[in-house]
């Protein structure tokens, strides 16, 4: 019997798993690493941390599954999107990777937009210039670290740096490349026009594959370090959102995923390119060959809950430690004691700025409507509701784009929590389902590895054979009506505070 391996280079750590061809999980491992914020709004990581975590988690998962490297048929790679990994001519990393949630590139985005115009960006890349994307990061390095810029020989995305370490090959694939602002999404190739207009060197970019296609093979050094067999195929894989969509079975029209990880993502399959004329959501290539998707992204979804836990949940973390429990479960249990709407307390989840529907690096998180009745439990629930309101923003945009919404599949922290599933169902006023596959992007790229090695004939067949609905949550009419009213207030708060957000950023920037 053969096994398939999926590796996801996430923001908080690397997850590696092994599955059988029926999708059954054999073993998994997780190795974490730090996220560094050198300045307000900045976010960086050391790529060597990713590599060390990858080696550790591969060895652990083989040991846990009692599986030899000889039995692994192939592996797929997923990872956090948009990060800029810069290598010199000796293939050494030039500086810490600038990550997807980093907000330092507002000026560079303005420059790119002024240079190409919104219509030009839409024509060349199908997307606007956003602070999270890769191209503005490269321009920022040019403007602020010219000595490093002058030594760039390769630009890789996070998972593709790990591919290079695994195989010695420079390669990427269409779904992750779509988020660089250097990729012609409609024609599924690098945009020579963008590279030329931005004054960047096309030779820096790796070859691009479709997601299930073999892009390289495990080299000898990696085999010795990990226990994998030399020449094991490594398929293209996918950016974490496209890979997670495969892992959720979002590979046909009408099925939508709502994923709450560090970020929050609402994702819909499209058979052809669909562009939002107002450029509020992304149009990217899917990990399904020849298909696309639209995607709305919140920068701090589960990240907002994590922030609350870390800074206001010390009591719950201590309780969890004593009980051997998850602190999130204790926090959520308290939130469940509060009625829908948190008695008028509303949370804006803009801890790291925002992307959809407001591409605004200056946006700030806010608790609005505090009164003497509000306690910690209200704040916890308000955070959960605020994240769901933010996800609804993307669904409303999809509806204006005539994207069919037949079923919403919840995953990540929002899928595991029965309370968060109910909150989403009530705020979306739509049924929420969960599926048997809970491992997200790592599971998705393991399936892609199965397609690339002939275990499955297509991505669609892989999903049909392995993914089943396991629970259904229906909206409660009274709550849905109440949330509809609060959603209108939630929407108005950003508009009312937008100019003040910018003023605060300016004061902070000058050291005030």
Q: For the chain, what is the domain count?
A: 2
How far CA 139 is from CA of 28, 101, 116, 304, in Å, comes to 38, 16, 14, 29
CATH of the domain at 368: 3.30.420.40
Is 89 in the same domain as 171?
Answer: yes
Three-class SS state of 361 = coil
∠ CA 441-443-449, rounded to 5°: 105
Supply the pTM of this predicted model. Answer: 0.86
Is 493 in the same domain as 377?
Answer: yes
Beta bridge partners of 433: 409, 472
CA-CA distance, 7 to 240, in Å (whole number)? 10
Paired sense of beta strands 238-239 and 264-270, if any: unpaired
Is 364 in the same domain as 459?
Answer: no
Is 324 in the same domain as 445?
Answer: no
CA-CA distance, 424 to 415, in Å (whole number)? 10
Beta bridge partners of 29: 16
Is 149 in the same domain as 56?
Answer: yes
CB of 236 closer than 8 Å to CB of 79: no
Beta bridge partners of 411: 259
Active site residue 426: no
CA-CA distance, 165 to 69, in Å (whole number)? 17
Is 394 in the same domain as 449?
Answer: no
Is 30 in the same domain as 87?
Answer: yes
Cβ neighbours of residue 196 closer than 8 Å, sequence gap 6 or more: none
pLDDT tens string, the chain, 512 residues long: the values are: 699 999 999 999 999 999 998 899 999 999 999 999 999 889 999 999 999 999 999 999 999 999 999 999 999 999 999 999 999 999 999 999 999 989 899 999 999 999 999 999 999 999 999 999 999 999 999 999 999 999 999 999 999 999 999 999 999 999 999 999 999 999 999 999 999 999 999 999 999 999 999 999 999 999 999 999 999 999 999 999 899 999 999 999 999 999 998 889 999 999 999 988 888 999 999 999 999 999 999 999 999 999 999 999 999 999 999 999 999 999 999 999 999 999 999 999 999 899 899 989 899 999 999 999 999 999 999 999 999 999 999 999 999 999 999 899 998 888 899 999 999 999 999 999 999 988 889 999 999 999 999 999 999 999 999 999 999 999 999 999 999 999 999 999 999 999 999 999 999 888 75
| Structure tokens, 22 | 């029926």
Is the CA virtual torsion 493, 499, 500, 501 positive or negative?
positive
The dihedral over CA atoms of 211, 216, 220, 225, expressed in degrees to the nearest 10, equals -20
Residue 427 lies in a domain: yes
Residue 270 lies in a domain: no
Catalytic entry in 49, 184, 240, 360:
240
Range of the domain at 317: 297-433+486-501
Residue 41 lies in a domain: yes
Measured between its terminal Cα atoms, the distance across the chain in Å is 63
Is 166 in the same domain as 306?
Answer: no
Residue 377 lies in a domain: yes
| Structure tokens, 223 | 């085999």
Is 14 in the same domain as 159?
Answer: yes
CB atoms within 10 A of CB 187: 10
Residue 401 lies in a domain: yes
Residue 158 lies in a domain: yes
Going through 334-444 in order, the beta strands assigned E by DSSP cover 346-348, 366-368, 405-412, 432-435
Is 181 in the same domain as 316?
Answer: no
Is 106 in the same domain as 195?
Answer: yes
Is 450 in the same domain as 370?
Answer: no
Beta bridge partners of 239: 79
CA-CA distance, 449 to 133, in Å (whole number)? 27
Residue 14 lies in a domain: yes
């Amino acid at each position: 019997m053969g096994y398939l391996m999926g590796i996801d280079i996430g923001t908080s750590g690397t997850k590696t798993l092994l599955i059988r061809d029926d999708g059954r999980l054999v073993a998994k491992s997780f190795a974490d690493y730090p996220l560094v914020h050198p300045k307000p709004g900045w976010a960086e990581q050391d790529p060597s941390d990713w590599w060390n975590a990858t080696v550790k988690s591969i060895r652990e998962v083989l040991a846990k599954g009692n599986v030899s490297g000889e039995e692994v048929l192939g592996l797929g790679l997923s990872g956090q999107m948009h990060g800029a990994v810069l290598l010199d001519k000796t293939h050494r990393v030039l500086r810490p990777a600038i990550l997807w949630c980093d907000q330092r590139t507002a000026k560079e985005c303005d420059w790119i937009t002024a240079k190409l115009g919104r219509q030009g960006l839409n024509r060349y890349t199908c997307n606007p210039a956003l602070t999270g994307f890769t191209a503005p990061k490269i321009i920022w390095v040019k403007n602020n670290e010219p000595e490093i810029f002058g030594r760039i020989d390769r630009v890789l995305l996070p998972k593709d740096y790990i591919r290079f370490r695994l195989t010695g090959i420079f390669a990427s694939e269409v779904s992750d490349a779509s988020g660089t602002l250097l990729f012609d999404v409609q024609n599924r190739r690098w945009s020579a026009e963008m590279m030329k207009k931005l004054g960047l060197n096309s030779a820096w970019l790796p070859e691009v594959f479709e997601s299930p296609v073999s892009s390289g093979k495990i080299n000898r050094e990696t085999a010795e370090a990990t226990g994998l067999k030399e020449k094991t195929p490594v398929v293209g894989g996918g950016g974490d959102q496209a890979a997670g969509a495969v892992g959720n079975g979002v590979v046909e029209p009408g099925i939508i995923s709502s994923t709450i990880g560090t970020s929050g993502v609402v994702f819909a399959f499209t058979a052809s390119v669909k562009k939002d004329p107002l450029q509020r959501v992304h149009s990217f290539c899917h990990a399904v060959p020849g298909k696309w998707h639209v995607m709305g992204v919140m920068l701090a979804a589960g990240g907002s809950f994590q922030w609350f836990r870390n800074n206001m949940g010390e009591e719950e973390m201590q309780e969890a430690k004593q009980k051997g429990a998850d602190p999130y479960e204790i926090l959520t249990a308290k939130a469940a004691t509060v009625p829908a709407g948190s008695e008028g307390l509303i949370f804006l989840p803009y801890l790291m700025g925002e992307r959809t529907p407001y591409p605004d690096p200056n946006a700030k998180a806010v608790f609005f409507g505090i009164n003497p009745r509000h306690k910690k439990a209200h704040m916890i629930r308000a955070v959960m509701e605020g994240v769901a309101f933010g996800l609804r923003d993307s669904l409303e945009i999809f509806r204006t784009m005539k994207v069919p919404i037949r079923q919403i599949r919840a995953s990540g922290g929002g899928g595991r929590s029965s309370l968060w599933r109910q909150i989403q169902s009530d705020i979306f006023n739509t049924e929420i389902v969960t599926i048997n596959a809970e491992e997200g992007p790592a599971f998705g790229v393991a399936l892609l590895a199965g397609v690339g090695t002939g275990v499955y004939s297509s991505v669609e067949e892989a999903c049909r054979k392995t993914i089943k609905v396991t629970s259904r949550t229906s909206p409660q009419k009274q709550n849905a009506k109440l949330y509809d009213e609060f959603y209108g207030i939630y929407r108005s708060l950003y508009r009312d505070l937008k100019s003040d957000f910018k003023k605060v950023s300016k004061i902070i920037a000058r050291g005030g």
